[in-house]
Amino acid sequence: MSETIEKRKQKMSPFFRQVVAVSGVVLYMIGTGANIAYPGVLLQQLRLPDSAMRLTPDHESWIASILGLALISGILVAPFSLQKLGRKLTNQLSTLPAMGGWALLVAAKGPAALLASRSLQGFAMGLQAAAAPVTIAEYSSPKYRGAFLATIAFSFATGMLVAHIFGTLLYWRTAAVACGSFYAVSLILISIPPETPPYLASKGKNNECRKSFRWFRGNDENSEKELEVLLNSQKKYTPKVALFTFYRQMITKPEFYKPTVIMMFMFVLFQISGMTVVPSYTVPMMEEVSGGTIEAYTSMLMVDVVRFLTAVIACIVVNKLRRRTVLFVGIIVSVVSLLTAALLLYLRDLGYLPEEYKWTPVVPTLLYIFGKTLGILPIPWAIAGEIFPLAYRSIGSGISGMFLSVMFFVVVKTAPTSFRQIGINGTFCVYGISIAICGVFLFFLLPETKGKTLFEIECHFRGEREKELNEKDVMLELRKVEEG
C-alpha cells in the first residue's frame, strides 16, 4: 500500500505540484478581485427605487473605498504573521475574516453592517496582499515563476468579471454568497502543500526544507544544487544580532531599501492607473464615456471581458518577455489611450464630434483597460514576489503594501469628487500624467528579474557577483535549467 502511494507521488510532476500549491492562492485572489468590483453592482442595485436599503453618496464612497483603510490593518499584521507563523498558516488564517466579511454582508440590514463587512474583507485582503506574491514566488521554480506570479493579475480580472456577472444576474445578497464561496475552496487547496522551502530554511529547519523543496521541485541533480544554494545562503547571511540592531542595519542595506523604493513606485503606479477605481465605478464611468449610446451593464461587461482576456494573455507574455518590456509597453499604451480618450471627451463636450460618433471615446478607453491589465496589473505583483531578499521579504512586503493600501483609499475615495469636479476627461488626464511620471522613475530604478533565481536578484541589489560568493558554477547550471 505504501509503495503504491509512493509511486503516485513520484508520478505527480513537480510542475503539477506547483500548480496545486499556487491554485489555492489564485482562488483567494479571485475573491479579492470580487471584493474590489462588488460595489459596482451592489451600489447600482441599492440605487433602485424599490431597494430595501437607502444610501447617501457619502455612504457609497465609503463602501467603495473603506477596503483601502482596512487593508492597512491587514498589512501591518502581515510581516509578523509571515515571519512568525509562516506563509502557509498566514494564507489559511486570512481566509477566515474574508469569509466572515461576506457572511456579514449577506446579513446586512443597513450601511453600518455593510461598512463592517467591507472592513473585514479589507483586513483579509491586506494580509493576502503581502502574502500572495511572496508565497507564489517561493512555491515556484524560476522557469515558471513569471507565469505563476502573473496569475495574480488573472485572478483579479477573473474576480472582477465574476462579481459583475453575479451582480448582473443575481440579487446582491445571493451574489455575495457566490463570491464568498471562492474563499472556502481556497482554504482547502492552501492546506494541501507543505510550507515554502525558503521560509523553512530561514528558520533553520533544514530537514523540513529539503523535504518541502523536493516536494515542489523533485530531486534531480539541478534541483539539488539549487537546494544547496538556498541552505548555504541562509547559513551565510542570516543575521545573528539583537532585534533593534537588525532593523537599524536593515534600513541601511541596499538589498532592502532599493527594492522597497521600487515597490513604493510600483504600487503607486498600480493604484493611480485607476486599477481599483474602474471596477468600483465602471457603470457611471462607461455611461459618461459612451455618451449614453451603450447600455450600462453591457459596457460594464465589455470592460470586464477585455480585462479578463488581457489577463490571460499577460500570463503568457510575462513568462516569455522581459518584465521591463511588458511593464513599459503597458505604461505607454495606458498613457496614450487615457490622453486620447480625454481629448475625444473634450471635443465631444465642445460639440466637435458628430452625434453618430459620440461612442468613439469607448475605443481608447478599452485600449487603456488593455494596457493597464497587460503591464501595470501583473508586473508589480510579479516584482513584489521576486525583489526582496529572504531575510527582509516579510517586512519589505509589508512596507510596500502600506503604499498600496493608502493609495487604494485615496484614489477610490476621491474618485467620485474627481468625476464631479473635473469630469471623466479631467480624471483621465490626471491618471495619464501620473502614470507617465511613475514610469519615468521606474525606467531608471527597476532592474530586469526574468529568469533569475531569487538568490541572484538578492545578489544584484547587494552589488555582489556569484563568483564572489563561490556560487558561480552552481548559478551557471541553474541558469541553463531555467532557460531550458
pLDDT of 282 reads 80
pLDDT of 427 reads 93
pLDDT above 60: residue 2? no
pLDDT of 182 reads 93
Q: What is the mean pLDDT of the chain?
A: 84
Q: What is the CATH number assigned to the segment(s) 14-198+241-451?
A: 1.20.1250.20
Task: pLDDT band for 5, please (50, 70, 90 cuts).
Answer: very low
pLDDT above 80: residue 295? yes
pLDDT above 80: residue 76? yes
Q: Decide if 278 contacts 369 (C-beta within 8 A).
A: yes
pLDDT above 50: residue 464? yes
What is the identity of the amino acid at 378? P
How far is it, in rounded angstroms, from Cα 84 to Cα 80? 6
Task: pLDDT band for 235, please (50, 70, 90 cuts).
Answer: low
More confident residue, 360 or 276: 360
pLDDT of 89 reads 93
More confident residue, 341 or 385: 341
Q: Which run of H or E residues covers position 470?
A: none
pLDDT above 90: residue 288? no
Q: Decide if 226 contacts 453 (C-beta within 8 A).
A: yes
pLDDT of 374 reads 92
Provide mean pLDDT across the span 428-435: 94
- 10 Å Cβ neighbour count for 107? 10
Dihedral sign for Cα 239, 242, 245, 246, please. Answer: positive
Task: pLDDT band for 123, please (50, 70, 90 cuts).
Answer: very high
What is the identity of the amino acid at 482? E
Which DSSP string do the residues of 239-267 spell out, in sequence order? Answer: --S-HHHHHHHHTT-HHHHHHHHHHHHHH
More confident residue, 333 or 304: 333
Provide mean pLDDT across the span 293-322: 86
* pTM, full prediction: 0.75
The C-alpha cell that represents 43 in the structure block: 451600489
pLDDT of 242 reads 64
Provide mean pLDDT across the span 335-342: 95
pLDDT above 90: residue 468? no
Provide mean pLDDT across the span 89-98: 93
How far is it, in rounded angstroms, from Cα 49 to Cα 111? 17
pLDDT above 90: residue 184? yes
The C-alpha cell that represents 270 in the structure block: 498600480
Among 264-268, 303-307, 348-352, 456-460, which is the least confidently predicted range? 456-460
How far is it, in rounded angstroms, from Cα 392 to Cα 247? 10
Provide mean pLDDT across the span 1-7: 42
pLDDT tens sequence across 371-408: 999 999 889 888 887 888 877 777 887 788 788 888 88
pLDDT above 80: residue 476? no
pLDDT above 90: residue 330? yes
Q: Decide if 72 contacts 162 (C-beta within 8 A).
A: no
pLDDT above 90: residue 483? no
More confident residue, 155 or 319: 155
Provide, rounded to the nearest whole percent, the portion of the chain with pLDDT above 70.
90
Provide mean pLDDT across the span 280-300: 83
pLDDT tens sequence across 190-232: 999 999 998 998 888 889 999 999 998 888 777 788 888 778 7
pLDDT above 60: residue 10? no
How far is it, in rounded angstroms, from Cα 346 to Cα 360? 12
How far, CA to CA in Å, does 462 sit from each of 78, 176, 237, 439, 449? 25, 46, 12, 24, 14
pLDDT of 414 reads 86
pLDDT above 60: residue 9? no
pLDDT of 236 reads 53
Task: pLDDT band for 470, please (50, 70, 90 cuts).
Answer: very low
